[in-house]
Amino acid sequence: MNVDPTTGLTLQAAPSWAPDFLTTPFLGGIALADIIAIVVILLFVLNFVMMEIWLERKVAGHVQLRRGPLHVGPHGAMQSPADVVKLLTKEQLIPSAADQVVFPIAPYLVFIPVFLTFLVIPWGPLVLFGNLVLRPFDLGLVYMVAIPAVQGVGLVMAGWSSGNKYSLLGSARVVAQLISYELPIVVALLGVAMMAGSLSLTTIVESQMTRGWNVFMQPLGFVIFFLATMSEMSRTPFDIAIAESEIVGGPFIEYSGMRWGMFYLAEFAAVCLNSALTATLYLGGWEPFPGSRALGLGWLGDYFGVLFFLGKVLFLVVIIQWARFLLPRLRIDQLMDFAWKLLLPVGFVNFILTAVLQIFGFAWFAVGLGVTLAGLATLLTVYRIRRQVSAPLAPAVA
Amino acid sequence: MDSYSITYAPVILAAAIGVGFIALTLTLADQLAPRVRSRGKDSIYECGMPTIGQGWSQMNLRYYLYAILFLVFEIESVFLFPWTVVYKGLGPFAFWEMALFVSMLLFGLAYAWRKGVLTWE
């Protein structure tokens, strides 16, 4: 373990066999190993995003009975690098109606929050490198809600500074959507935090190894979190803010070339990020499969945990991509109703039932679940009766 | 320097590295890309026709009401996160206190719902 001599705090970025000059903290507790780790994370994000874009085009192709990119490299695998070169050589326009200061700053504020959130993810153990995590962030859960929220500011800046009515509309929608879906996420996370009794992502993964994966312990929370994060990324069933076919691209209509590329990078990095967070919080992080410890296969996770973690991330990424090509876009009122009238109340029910389970035990939890279901049934019945009474008789269809 | 700052110091470093990466890429693109200005290119894109009026136009008031509701719930979450870490030592009393707090919030949501704040017109 590498310990900072002044504070006695563990620095986890480097393995225990790393030479001293790598782990000696300088400049306010930052060691050389930290810098290397951050650059590695950045490179991972960039490469994963390139792979993800290729994969997405392949998935799109096969969903629509096409074959997707095919010509650049084997199975079109070099398509994304080729696109990057194309973007680099494309002119970057700033419209004369746009705000000349805010317009170029916006891409920074859109990508950096997503990148910063990658820092808290516990990637899991890899043979000689120990447990790959930058630092034991003890407020990981709050951090992963707070930092990505800054992205909303960047998107408003982009939409407002473009001097375009569609962009402005798009950015208003982005913010409405971001803040509406932030709440179900937070409420779902409260359940996760209660199960682990901690806000640290590493502790949450470790507690899932003994208590069972959260996807089984918190099924409602899992569904809420997954749907709400999908909406936060504004991907197709929820992409009302971008909506090419009505507001032609939302906040980034006016962006072109590499500046536009930064928005694209942020969007795809967010897909990777949210898959990684879902895998960490609900799918047991780096544990290969539920109950691997009990079967004596714990070493699989202890040595190659990263591979299992990345496998889960890829699995979730593909599911998110399927949803994009299989489902139609929602209207904005449906989108808002879904967050406020369904996900948020259900999230609170999940939270309170988790609290009952944790404090009063399983018997009272069963009672609570029964009461909730009975209450839901009553509400639904009352609602249907009232609608039948108030609605006029439907005209006969000829 | 206290332990809290040490733990979160890499975040600032990462932000700097992120800014550096974007600045480098954009500068590179600026150097590589051609630059040909013309009046048509500098105008904003709306429908292909010359645009009418300014880009900064009026906005639906709905969005503002959602923002207020959001603030209430987000502040509540700031109180509930610490609760989730310490509730085990506090026993049933902590549960009833939290239940009261959450039910007041949910009453607020129900009130807004009833008042039609959540209905999009």
Verify whether the Cβ–Cβ distance B33 to A91 is below 8 Å: yes
Q: Are A198 and A207 in contact (CB under 8 A)?
A: yes
pLDDT computed for residue A3 by the predictor = 56
Domain ranges of chain A: 91-379
Least confident of A174-178, A253-257, B56-60: B56-60
Helices A165-196 and A257-282: angle between axes, nearest 10 degrees:
20
Query: What's the gap in Å between the CA of A71 and the closest CA on chain B?
Result: 25
What is the Cα–Cα distance from B17 to A63, expressed in whole angstroms? 38
Backbone φ, ψ for residue A247 (5° rounding): -115, 30
CA distances from A273 to A125, A153, A395, B72 (A): 19, 19, 51, 27
CA distances from A145 to A111, A114, B78 (A): 16, 11, 11
Taking one residue from A and the other from B, the number of pairs with CB-CB distance under 8 angstroms is 221
Backbone φ, ψ for residue A132 (5° rounding): -80, 100
The larger pLDDT score, comparing residue A248 to residue B89, is at B89
What is the Cα–Cα distance from A296 to A205, expressed in whole angstroms? 18
Residue B120 lies in a domain: no
Q: What is the pLDDT of residues A78-104, one digit of tens each?
A: 888 898 888 888 888 888 777 888 888
Residue B26 lies in a domain: yes
Verify whether the Cβ–Cβ distance A108 to B19 is below 8 Å: yes
Q: What is the pLDDT of residues A186-206, one digit of tens each?
A: 999 998 998 888 888 888 888
Query: What's the gap in Å between the CA of B20 and the closest CA on chain A?
Result: 10
Domain CATH for B108: 1.20.58.1610
Verify whether the Cβ–Cβ distance B70 to A180 is below 8 Å: yes
CA distances from A186 to A141, A181, A253, B97 (A): 9, 9, 31, 19
- Mean pLDDT computed over A208-225: 87
Give me the residue from A29, A142, A166 closest to B9, CB to CB: A29
| % chain A with pLDDT above 70 | 89
Q: Return the DSSP state at B28.
A: H
CA distances from A215 to A231, A284, A310, A363, B42 (A): 19, 8, 17, 21, 51
What is the Cα–Cα distance from A357 to A131, expressed in whole angstroms? 32
For testing contact with chain B, the best of A40, A103, A132, A164 (most B CBs within 10 A):
A164
Give me the residue from A95, A336, A355 closest to B120, CB to CB: A336
What is the Cα–Cα distance from A156 to A110, expressed in whole angstroms? 10
Verify whether the Cβ–Cβ distance B73 to A183 is below 8 Å: yes
pLDDT computed for residue A275 by the predictor = 93
Q: Say whether pLDDT at B86 is over 50.
A: yes
Verify whether the Cβ–Cβ distance A91 to B77 is below 8 Å: no
Verify whether the Cβ–Cβ distance B45 to A164 is below 8 Å: yes
Residue B28 lies in a domain: yes
Beta pairing partners, A125: A131
Sign of CA dihedral A58, A59, A60, A61: positive
User: Phi/psi class of residue A2: alpha, beta or left (left: φ > 0; alpha: ψ in -120 to 50)?
Assistant: beta
Give me the residue from B11, B26, B46 closest to A166, CB to CB: B46
Confidence of residue B43 (pLDDT cuts 50, 70, 90): confident
Confidence of residue A292 (pLDDT cuts 50, 70, 90): confident
Q: Say whether pLDDT at A2 is over 60.
A: no
For testing contact with chain B, the best of A89, A340, A351, A371 (most B CBs within 10 A):
A340
Q: Say whether pLDDT at A378 is over 80.
A: yes
Verify whether the Cβ–Cβ distance B25 to A258 is below 8 Å: yes
Verify whether the Cβ–Cβ distance A345 to B91 is below 8 Å: no
Q: Taking the CB of residue A304, how many other CB atoms lie within 10 A of it?
A: 16
Residues of A in contact with B69 (CB under 8 A): 340
Residue B121 lies in a domain: no
Residue B24 lies in a domain: yes
Count of structural domains, chain B: 1
Q: What residue numbers bound the domain in which B67 lies?
A: 3-114
Residue B119 lies in a domain: no
- Mean pLDDT computed over A203-221: 86
pLDDT computed for residue A273 by the predictor = 92
Least confident of A57-61, A134-138, A159-163, B19-23: A134-138
Q: Are A258 and A92 in contact (CB under 8 A)?
A: yes
pLDDT computed for residue A252 by the predictor = 82
Verify whether the Cβ–Cβ distance A340 to B118 is below 8 Å: yes
**pTM of this prediction?**
0.87
Q: What is the pLDDT of residues A19-50, one digit of tens each?
A: 776 767 776 667 777 888 889 899 999 999 99
Q: What is the pLDDT of residues A301-323, one digit of tens each?
A: 778 888 889 999 999 999 999 88
Give me the residue from A13, A261, A336 closest to B118, CB to CB: A336
CA distances from B106 to A123, A353, A383, B109 (A): 37, 15, 19, 5
Least confident of A9-23, A118-132, B38-52: A9-23
Query: What's the gap in Å between the CA of B33 and the closest CA on chain A?
Result: 4
Average confidence score pLDDT of chain B = 80
pLDDT computed for residue A45 by the predictor = 92
ipTM of model over 0.95: no
The larger pLDDT score, comparing residue A344 to residue A133, is at A344
What distance, in Å, lies between the first and last C-alpha atoms of chain B?
54
Closest-CA residue of A relative to B25 is A258
Residues of B in contact with A115 (CB under 8 A): 14, 18
What 3 state SS string does A192-215 have?
Answer: HHHHHCCCCHHHHHHHHHHHCCHH
Average confidence score pLDDT of chain A = 83
* Cα within 13 Å of Cα(A386), Cβ side: 6
Verify whether the Cβ–Cβ distance A87 to B92 is below 8 Å: no
Verify whether the Cβ–Cβ distance B118 to A163 is below 8 Å: no
Q: Say whether pLDDT at B45 is over 80.
A: no
What H or E segment, with its residue span, contains residue A39? helix A32-63
- Mean pLDDT computed over A114-142: 82
Least confident of A202-206, A251-255, B2-6: B2-6
Query: What's the gap in Å between the CA of A338 and the closest CA on chain B?
Result: 11
Residues of B in contact with A133 (CB under 8 A): none
Residue B35 lies in a domain: yes
What is the Cα–Cα distance from A236 to A61, expressed in whole angstroms? 16
pLDDT computed for residue A218 by the predictor = 86
Q: Return the DSSP state at A31.
A: -
pLDDT computed for residue A1 by the predictor = 44
